[in-house]
A = this chain, B = another copy of it.
Amino acid sequence: VLDERLQRTAEAAKSAGCDWAILTNFDSICYALGHAPFIETALSPFAGGPTTAFVRADGACGLVAPNVESAAAQASRADEKIIYEGFAYDHRADIVGNYAAAIAEIKTRLGIGGVLGAEPETLPATLAASLGAERTLDINEPLRRARATKTAEEKALMRRSAMAAAKGQEAFYEWARPGRTELDVFAQVRAAMENFAGERTAVAGDFLSGKARTAGGVGWPISRVIGLNDPLISDLAPRVSGYWGDSCASSVLGTPQDGYLKLFNTAKRALDRALEIMRPGIVAADLDGELRRSVAAAGYSYPHHSGHSIGASVHEWPRLTPYERAPLQEGMFIMVEPAAYDPDIGGVRLEWMIEITATGCRPAAPFEHRPSIAA
């Protein structure tokens, strides 16, 4: 039995008029074949060679990967796996030559040809040359739509990634103390997520303290020392087994002033509103508009999307934006992140991962949003 993600990838290729999907983005390779190598030091920092997945319109598939990714490749769902030498100790590896030879080999084994669907933003020139396709089409759009609702296997992975993020937020509430740096607290938060995952995890997101930084809303942690009564934003997106969790907590370390509570309650009300109205059929732009109106009623706004789908990529289609006319569907996992920012007070953004069910929605791994942390 074909994994449903592989099947959907094959169908996306077919619907786009392609005989083959040629995948070169790390997230789509993970989606189609379950190949999830580490990415925390960029892709293949040692071996430097490309990774490529091939999926035929009937679901036959193969993978070409450098030897640093060998363990991940062996654990993948690919029918044919060709590992090429990108790194060796007793001679210098000819990365480009070895990759080209691997492509030639898999082309023969699988009979790759005809119309190819590719991801042009990451397609290597050497791959395009080796394949010598008669015609290559952009397959991004059908792939994006195929991935919008999650399969049964993915639902379990998404809940686990959301739980990893929730563990991070618990550690955030526990470890934030005046006198520690943002990086100190972030280290504990990260350890909680990594211990849950059982391995190092890539982490996207934001970690901010103080009025100016939280009012700006985005940025990675720095060595700023956290002070008493500082507002904090902890936006945590850990990648576990190739799937991203996400979440955002905002809190004052000490005693929140009235102005801060107003920001907090504004964002909380909008998030609560989302949980009331999210269900199959609601249009992404309408949900986005509803959340913006809720925040605007209190006199605030936010300069970013209201949320986004998530999976093997941290941002997926659809996003909650004014231009997105797609209706939500059962099986989507949507990040919802309304916010309120005030340069005189700071920023509050509250985010949960929300699963769309047959009749409504439910948070994938809810954690408490607290306006303050005891200092």
Contact = CB atoms under 8 A, between A and B. Distances in A.
Interface string A154-179: 00000000000000000000000000
Interface in A178-235: 181, 183-184, 186-188, 190-191, 194-195, 198-200, 202-204, 220-223
A223 B198 contact: yes
B181 A199 contact: no
A25 B91 CA distance: 22
A275 interface: no
A122 interface: yes
Interface in A37-52: 38-43, 45-46, 48-50
A99 interface: yes
Contacts of A109: none
B120 A123 contact: no
B123 A124 contact: yes
A125 interface: yes
B89 A138 contact: no
B41 A203 contact: yes
Main secondary structure of the interface of A (DSSP, over half): loop
29 contacts: A25-B48, A38-B220, A40-B202, A40-B203, A41-B202, A42-B202, A50-B122, A89-B304, A89-B305, A90-B322, A99-B121, A120-B125, A121-B124, A123-B124, A123-B125, A183-B191, A183-B200, A184-B195, A186-B191, A187-B187, A187-B190, A187-B191, A187-B194, A190-B190, A194-B221, A194-B223, A195-B223, A199-B222, A199-B223
A200 to B, nearest CB: 5
| Copies of this protein chain in the complex | 2
B323 A92 contact: yes
Nearest to A197: B223
A237 to B, nearest CB: 8
A123 B50 CA distance: 10
A89 B125 contact: no
Interface in A44-84: 45-46, 48-50
Nearest to A42: B39
Interface string A1-27: 000000000000000000000000110
Q: Name the residue among A91, A120, A190 with the largest chain B CB count within 10 angstroms.
A: A120
A12 to B, nearest CB: 18
A305 B90 CA distance: 8
Among A39, A89, A187, A305, max chain B CB count under 10 A is at A187
The bracket for how many chain A residues form the interface is 35 or more
A106 interface: no
A321 interface: yes
Interface in A105-128: 120-128
Given A128-B125, A181-B195, A184-B195, A221 B204 contact: no
A188 B181 CA distance: 13
A71 to B, nearest CB: 10
Listed from nearest, the 4 A-B pairs whose CB atoms lie closest are: A187-B191, A39-B42, A125-B128, A123-B125
A96 B125 contact: no
Contacts of A120: 96, 125-126
A362 interface: no
A199 to B, nearest CB: 6
Contacts of A127: 125
B194 A121 contact: no
A122 B122 CA distance: 9
Contacts of A321: 89-90
A315 interface: yes
